Amino acid sequence: MSEHKLDFEDAAPGEADIGRDTRAYLLGLALAVLLTAASFYIGASDFIWRPAIPTALVVLAIGQIGIHLVFFLHITTSPDNTNNIIALAFGVFIVVLAVAGSIWIMSHMNTNMPPMDQLMQMQR
């Protein structure tokens, strides 16, 4: 007869450990607030060399994304999160497609449209 080991980390919906979940949410909130405060501090001070500020803000933003994905959206590497990861990847793909397409269209319009003063003279 095989002996089954109970997995206390796996719970049915509605059977969550409120204390553990609350601590995890509070930790995520604290880390998110810390990264937000660090972003404002870096933007307003001379702590980092001026040309490196955009890079530092992008790094902090990526960290913020990671915090939100793990602590609030519960995206992990467990096998039962495969659908969530696929949905997240599809959402990111759609956003990148929309932003890149918009930039591409605006770039081509900027290249192919006459300057505004010539455009206004053509209407008269």
User: pLDDT by residue (tens digit) across 12-42?
Assistant: 666 667 888 889 999 999 999 999 999 999 9
Q: Is the pLDDT score of 6 beyond 60?
A: no
Arithmetic mean of pLDDT, 58-85? 91
- Distance (Å, rounded) from C-alpha 37 to C-alpha 57? 11
- Distance (Å, rounded) from C-alpha 26 to C-alpha 24? 5
CA angle 95, 66, 104 (to 5 degrees): 20
Amino acid identity at 47? F
Start-end of H helices in 1-115: 18-44, 53-67, 82-112
**pTM assigned to the model:** 0.66
Instruction: Give per-residue pLDDT as tens, 110-122.
Output: 899 888 888 888 8
CB 70 within 8 A of CB 28: yes
- Distance (Å, rounded) from C-alpha 93 to C-alpha 89? 6
